[in-house]
Amino acid sequence: MLRVGSLASLLLALASLLSTAPAAAQIELGPGDDVEGALNALAPGDEVVLADGTYTLTSRFSFSAAGTAAEPILIRAAEGARPHFERPAADQNIWDIEEARHLTLRGLTFSGGSAGLRVSAASDFTIEGCEIFDTADVALRMNDGGTTYERISILRNHIHDTGGTGEGMYLGCNRDGCRIAGGLIAENHVHHTNAGDVSQGDGIELKEGSHGVTIRDNVIHDTNYPCLLGYSTVGNGEPNVVDPWPPFPQAERSEALPLAQRARSKSRTGYPHARRAPSSLAPVPQSRAKRGAPASAASRAQRAVQPPAASTPVRSRAKRSATSGRGRSDSVSPWLSSTSRASSRRRSSAFFCSVCPCRCRSARPSSSSFSMRVRSASSWYSTSAAPLFFRCASHSR
């Protein structure tokens, strides 16, 4: 039986131990500091605040950060700042993240290097409000062999001007070598993956075996290959969902879903991926239907729409990249969607598309004419003599 004095001593000892336990820290860093060393020393609950300025990298930059559900780790820009990590040489990735568990990156800019960010292992990992551009290869890569990336969120990022194979996001591996299991890819702007040296250039590529991923409200344009390509993802678990315009969902359980209408032949066949998985790359056509109506019902009849009055403006949005230095006006054309067939056979195989409006940019002009519906900021109308060749993807509200 413990005496009162012994009990008091024990309580004091426990209190002493608790008081010496490491507390979550806020770590402020700027250009010239050992950022790599600081990131490798992070503990659960820590927050890194990066000051404005350019952080030039000349050697390999890699780190691991593992938080917990109760104490996640945050690496973010300081209020009003835009820390810019640049790598002039193309022989290394900008950041190699060896492990990311309960980790968020927010408000950072990356340019140069080979890949922008390469993530080797991750769960409960978020990339939010970042910009990646002028890379010699893929901007964001999660394709380490044998890895399952769980609960990944890629939100409100700006990805543009890639080189090499040129994908904006390369998520998963060929032949189910690794996969994304659960996640959200939303409100990203991906464009200009079509430079002269780009061999492929998909906007977002979700690879074989991935499942439970929701893709919605992204703006993707000026790509070589389909803006959005997901293939060999059938039968692996919870279906992936492409949700271009709520409340009109599109659930993808077919073998392939390149969201590209009338794209050039390489885009439509998924070349060169078709050489490896030819059975999994048939493009899935898009269709139009009223809310609640089966997709196949809409494909049986074209809906007549009236052309706009001559005074009706075609609204577009123009953005300028302040950091790329290229002076490009990144204009995005109005909302576009066309009517195409969706057979009852395809729908019975668990594919459903009720409506797939897209935000597109012309890839190259054509004298061919066809009718399409165009949605400006305030109205719907039809037009003809529109460019026949274009690539499109889900829009941002």
**Structure confidence by residue, pLDDT tens digits, 86-123:** 999 888 999 999 999 999 999 999 999 999 999 999 99
| Spatial distance between the Cα atoms of 73 and 124, rounded to a whole number of angstroms | 11
C-alpha atoms less than 13 angstroms from C-alpha of 378 in its C-beta half-sphere: 5
CA 155/CA 152 separation, integer angstroms: 10
Examine residue 247 and say whether the peptide bond preceding it is cis (omega within 30 degrees of 0).
Answer: yes
Report yes or no on whether pTM surpasses 0.75: no
Candidate ranges 73-82, 191-200, 210-219, 275-284; pick with highest mean pLDDT: 73-82
323 has pLDDT over 60: no
Q: What is the pLDDT of residue 3?
A: 57
Total residues belonging to the chain = 397
| Residues 127, 153 contacting (CB under 8 angstroms) | yes
β-bridge mates for residue 213, sequence order = 183
Neighbours of 368 (CB within 10 A): 11
Q: How far apart are CA 350 and CA 321, in angstroms?
A: 41
Of 266 and 135, the structure prediction assigns the larger pLDDT to 135
CATH class of 25-280: mainly beta
Cα gap 343→295, rounded to integer Å = 8
